[in-house]
């Protein structure tokens, strides 16, 4: 079999035809095999796109070494130092969260799912399911909380909309973009407008902001700076609202332009940052509900204020009825 190159396909590339091993196959016609006949097996051609230019020996070192190899030009050393928050989570917070969130003999709380037609009419056959009751979209089930699904911080999204980029000049979005790069260590992507609204002098495909997603040690570093340096310096900040959340464990809050200057990278040389926009920060967690996410984030020192918005949990009897219908019986 011909060698398969492990390269990403791209436009304008040639096709490589690979041949399968010739198997003994009966002919599709019913002529019997005689001494002078041969069995012809038609080859099956698999097309793989590849750039022939990339296979030349000169590129072997550059293109065919994996990213994690130190000999690669894309190599980036990671975990050169301990991630303080991650270690604290693994050592202290996770076992405490397991205890805090533990519910004995917990039932699976079903989410809102698409409804099947009952079959009272013949036209119900193959009809697509109805929208969920009480919701536009399907919601996930709340699974049993075990040691395998302890809530943890997965990613942080930082997004900025720069109003001056619409009103004055698109270049006004750049300082905020550079600032985001400085505080996160990752290159942000620009955000373009999706619609044209004349009253706001907004056109489609204008660069109006930037966004960046951080994960891993970078994320914990940024979160530590936020909680320990930036948020305590903000006047009139008592905590994040308890009502903030998307129902399934992701908490969002914002920073004003005045608050953003408390980041050490900006505070160190304020004359370089004259016009900065505020930020929207979304903490993406693996918690199944908002209260769980808040519990986890409070362990890192993030305060919350306001009335708690609890996740609506059906009563014990209702859950039992649902399980009985499915045939699930809990023996206590």
| Nearest CB to another protein, comparing residues 59 and 102 | 102
To another protein, the closest distance from the beta carbon of 271 in angstroms equals 12
Give CA separation, 197 vs 103, 132, 202, in Å.
51, 34, 5
Measured from the Cβ of residue 244, the count of other Cβ atoms closer than 10 Å reads 19
| Nearest CB to another protein, comparing residues 246 and 308 | 308
To another protein, the closest distance from the beta carbon of 42 in angstroms equals 41
- Enumerate the β-bridge partners of residue 210: 160, 190
Give CA separation, 320 vs 101, 258, 290, 331, in Å.
21, 52, 24, 12
To another protein, the closest distance from the beta carbon of 27 in angstroms equals 51
| Nearest CB to another protein, comparing residues 135 and 205 | 205
- Which two tokens mark 291? 């209260």
| Nearest CB to another protein, comparing residues 177 and 279 | 177
What's the alpha-carbon Rg for the chain, to the nearest Å? Answer: 29
Measured distance CA(27)–CA(42) in Å, rounded: 10
**Which residues of this chain interact with another protein, rule CB under 8 A?**
70-73, 75, 84-85, 88, 90, 93-96, 98-102, 104-105, 146-147, 150, 170-171, 173-175, 177-178, 181, 187-190, 192, 203, 205-207, 224, 228, 242, 291, 294-295, 298-301, 303-304, 308, 310, 332
To another protein, the closest distance from the beta carbon of 92 in angstroms equals 8
To another protein, the closest distance from the beta carbon of 171 in angstroms equals 5
- What are the contacts of 54-61 at 24+ separation with CB within 8 A? 54/5, 54/7, 55/5, 55/7
DSSP state of 152: -
What residues contact 17, with CB distance under 8 A and at least 6 apart? 2, 45, 46, 47
Measured from the Cβ of residue 140, the count of other Cβ atoms closer than 10 Å reads 13
To another protein, the closest distance from the beta carbon of 308 in angstroms equals 4
| Nearest CB to another protein, comparing residues 73 and 325 | 73
Q: Is 251 in contact with 236 (CB distance < 8 Å)?
A: no
What angle, rounded to 10 degrees, do the helices at 216-225 and 173-184 form?
100
| Nearest CB to another protein, comparing residues 174 and 322 | 174
To another protein, the closest distance from the beta carbon of 164 in angstroms equals 13
| Nearest CB to another protein, comparing residues 5 and 254 | 254
To another protein, the closest distance from the beta carbon of 76 in angstroms equals 8
| Nearest CB to another protein, comparing residues 75 and 200 | 75
């Amino acid at each position: 079999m011909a060698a398969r190159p492990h390269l990403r396909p791209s436009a304008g590339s040639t096709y490589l035809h690979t041949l399968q091993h010739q198997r003994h196959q009966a002919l599709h016609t019913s002529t019997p095999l005689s001494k002078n006949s041969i069995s012809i097996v038609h080859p099956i051609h698999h097309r793989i796109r590849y750039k022939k230019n990339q296979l030349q020996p000169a590129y072997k070192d550059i293109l065919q070494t994996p990213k994690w190899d130190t000999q690669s030009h894309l190599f980036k050393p990671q975990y050169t130092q301990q991630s303080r928050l991650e270690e604290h989570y693994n050592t202290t917070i996770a076992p405490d969260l397991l205890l805090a969130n533990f519910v004995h003999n917990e039932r699976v709380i079903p989410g809102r799912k698409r409804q099947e037609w009952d079959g009272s009419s013949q036209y119900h056959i193959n009809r697509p399911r109805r929208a969920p009751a009480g919701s536009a979209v399907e919601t996930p089930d709340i699974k049993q909380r075990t040691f395998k699904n302890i809530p943890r911080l997965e990613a942080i999204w930082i997004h900025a909309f720069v109003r001056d980029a619409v009103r004055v000049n698109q270049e006004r979005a750049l300082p905020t973009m550079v600032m985001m790069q400085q505080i996160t260590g990752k290159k942000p992507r620009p955000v373009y407008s999706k619609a044209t609204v004349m009253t706001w002098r907004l056109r489609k495909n204008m660069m109006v902001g930037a966004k960046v997603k951080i994960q891993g040690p970078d994320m914990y570093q940024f979160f530590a700076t936020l909680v320990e340096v930036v948020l305590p310096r903000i006047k009139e900040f008592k905590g994040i609202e308890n009502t903030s959340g998307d129902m399934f464990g992701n908490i969002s809050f914002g920073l004003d332009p005045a608050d953003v200057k408390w980041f050490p990278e900006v505070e160190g040389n304020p004359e370089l940052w004259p016009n900065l926009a505020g930020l929207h920060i979304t903490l993406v967690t693996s918690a199944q509900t908002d209260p769980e996410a808040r519990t986890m984030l409070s362990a890192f020192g993030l305060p919350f204020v306001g009335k708690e918005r609890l996740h609506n949990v059906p009563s014990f009897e209702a859950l039992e009825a649902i399980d009985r219908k499915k045939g699930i019986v809990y023996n206590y």
